[in-house]
Structure 1
Amino acid sequence: MKYIKIQKFPEEKTTLLTISRESALNALNMEVLKELDLALNEVDTNTCRSIIITGKGEKSFVAGADIGYMQNFSKEQAQDFTIFGSGLFKRIERFTIPVIAAVNGYALGGGLELALACDFRIASENAIFGLPELGLGIIPGFGGTQRLMRTIPTGKAKEMIYTGAKIDSTMAKQLGLVNGVYPIDELMEHVKMLAKRIAKNDAEAVKIAKKAMNEGIDQTISTGLEIESIMFSQCFEREEQQNRMKRFLEK
């Protein structure tokens, strides 16, 4: 692929997808999005326990959608772009195994939307987050108006979108937008450590837990608890569950 680099780390049982368009701060156009979609097809969810998404270099995760690419869109072209990008990010959000965003710099516009589609975010100290689309006469189109206010306090999400304000990694952590902040040269080490911790758990149980959370988040608590109960009971049909409980008791 031209813009997506795929690396596998057997020890951590994770696959790293790097958006490699550094000269454009890893900005998203349709070609990048399509390659990212294809890269997901290359992930073997039977052997891989998680995915890490990052951007190339030490300056930008993804600085947004490519403005030059979008500038002369017709309404129909804009609709095709948002439908594809939004659908891809929903695929990432609902992907069978956990997806971690390693935010190594600017995460603006579509970059923040990509990070929000991941299960959680780990940031470098130089990371900057924002949704500046309104200043360009448009609105976020890959899920930003929906996921940001489901991740941080609604009032703060609206402030960020209405004003186009950017926040640094310290504020992002305070708001719960990111789970951790590390020096840029230590970022991937800590993200891979998290991937390794995920890999130590029962692979199928991780998938079931993610499915339960994704299916329950937009439901009432009662419906969510029903979903959890059904999936909890399904865990007891598996040999791995029996083996893990037996090993625990033997200790």
Structure 2
Amino acid sequence: MSFQYLNLDVSERVATVTINRPDKGNALAPDVLEEVTRMFNDLGARTDVHVIAFTGGERYFSAGFDLNEIRKLEKVSNEAYTALFHRAYRAVLFCEQPVICAVGGAAIAGGFDLTMMCDIRYASTRAKFGQREIVLSLTPIMDPLWRIIGMGRAKEVALTGRIYDAAEAERMGYVSAVFPEGELLTSVSKIARDMAQYDRACLAETKRLSNVVLNQDLDMSMRTQEWLFRSYIGSEENHQRIDALQAQLAAARKAKG
């Protein structure tokens, strides 16, 4: 597949997807959304990819909706454009592999929503976050936002339309860590490569599990986790990784003398 607005690099079982529309702050025009959908659907089927890193580079993530495109819409004919956004959101959210988001700059409105669809979020000190839909007389995406930061905080983010810096996003639990400007991609790439060494099926199942248990009562979630654990423990992959870990620990003890 050829992509005009997305760059793809696959190395060491990590696929790095970079939004590349810098002249527009990586704004989400219809063609960009179509490419996001195709890219993540394609990557989800690739067995050589264990983890996906999603970024806009060190300077941007995405400034959000392309306002010139939205301004052309009429209420009676907006269905196709709205569907574009939600296909892209779902392609990221339900992608087979874990998706790590690296936010190097502004992630606003639709750009913020895309970060919300990722499993883990990291930011640089120059990152900014804002769910600005309310400012444009649009309703926001509340789910999965409330699952990430809680309903009370999600309401604040949605109803105020406020812009948050990286430090505040980390304090509210929206991002897992903040890295110095210019060091984001290197840092996230290492995290992704380390994660990609793990069993692909186990990574995918753990991602699915995290979504499933949210909608179950405690008894059912415990039963689901027991069943899933039982399907992996004692497997050949499990035995091989135990042997490798024990050999590594033995070598470390020997080196210490």
Q: Same fold (TM over 0.5)?
A: yes
Q: Which amino acid aligns with 1:52?
A: A
Corresponding pairs, count: 245
Report what 1:114 is aligned to. Answer: 114
Please give the residue correspondences for 1:217-232 in structure 2 after superposition, counting only pairs within 5 Å.
217-232=214-229
Residues 48-72 of structure 1 deviation map (CA, whole Å, 9 limit, x = unaligned): 11111111451x2011111110113
Residues 11-55 of structure 1 deviation map (CA, whole Å, 9 limit, x = unaligned): xx2111111111111011221011112222442631111111111
Residues 78-134 of structure 1 deviation map (CA, whole Å, 9 limit, x = unaligned): 332233322321231121111011001001101111001000100010111011111
**Structure-1 separation of matches of 2:129 and 2:191:** 22
Structure 2 counterpart SS, 1:146:
coil
TM-score by length of 2: 0.88
Q: Which has the larger radius of gyration?
A: 2
TM-score by length of 1: 0.90
The answer to whether the Cα contact below 8 Å between 1:52 and 1:99 also exists between their aligned partners in 2 is yes
Q: CA 1:135–1:248 in 2, change beyond 3 Å: closer, same or farther?
A: closer
**Structure-2 separation of matches of 1:92 and 1:153:** 21
The answer to whether the Cα contact below 8 Å between 1:26 and 1:56 also exists between their aligned partners in 2 is no
The answer to whether the Cα contact below 8 Å between 2:27 and 2:66 also exists between their aligned partners in 1 is yes
Report what 1:79 is aligned to. Answer: 79
Please give the residue correspondences for 1:127-206 in structure 2 after superposition, counting only pairs within 5 Å.
127-140=127-140, 144-206=141-203
Q: Which amino acid aligns with 2:25?
A: L
The answer to whether the Cα contact below 8 Å between 1:21 and 1:56 also exists between their aligned partners in 2 is no
Per mean C-alpha deviation after superposition, the further-off stretch among 160-169 and 35-44 is 35-44
Name stretches of at least 5 consecutive residues in structure 2 with no aligned partner. 251-257
Shift of 1:180: 0.8
**Structure-2 separation of matches of 1:40 and 1:91:** 6
Shift of 1:237: 6.8
The answer to whether the Cα contact below 8 Å between 1:3 and 1:32 also exists between their aligned partners in 2 is yes
**Structure-2 separation of matches of 1:105 and 1:234:** 41
The answer to whether the Cα contact below 8 Å between 1:45 and 1:96 also exists between their aligned partners in 2 is no
The answer to whether the Cα contact below 8 Å between 1:45 and 1:97 also exists between their aligned partners in 2 is no
Shift of 1:159: 1.6
Superposition CA RMSD, Å: 1.8
Shift of 1:164: 0.8
Per mean C-alpha deviation after superposition, the further-off stretch among 83-92 and 177-186 is 83-92
Q: Which amino acid aligns with 1:46?
A: T
The answer to whether the Cα contact below 8 Å between 2:99 and 2:118 also exists between their aligned partners in 1 is yes
The answer to whether the Cα contact below 8 Å between 1:22 and 1:57 also exists between their aligned partners in 2 is no
Name stretches of at least 5 consecutive residues in structure 1 with no aligned partner. none
Pair 1:65-2:65 in alignment: yes
The answer to whether the Cα contact below 8 Å between 2:37 and 2:88 also exists between their aligned partners in 1 is yes
Report what 2:55 is aligned to. Answer: 54
Q: CA 1:188–1:249 in 2, change beyond 3 Å: closer, same or farther?
A: closer
Residues 185-218 of structure 1 deviation map (CA, whole Å, 9 limit, x = unaligned): 1000110111122122222221221111122222
Determine what percentage of the aligned residue pairs are the same residue: 28
Q: Which amino acid aligns with 1:91?
A: A
**Structure-1 separation of matches of 2:32 and 2:217:** 37
Q: Which amino acid aligns with 2:167?
A: T
Report what 2:100 is aligned to. Answer: 100
Q: Which amino acid aligns with 2:106?
A: Y
Per mean C-alpha deviation after superposition, the further-off stretch among 111-120 and 215-224 is 215-224
Q: CA 1:41–1:148 in 2, change beyond 3 Å: closer, same or farther?
A: closer
Pairing partner for 1:240 from 237, 242, 254: 237
**Structure-2 separation of matches of 1:76 and 1:230:** 48
**Structure-2 separation of matches of 1:52 and 1:65:** 22
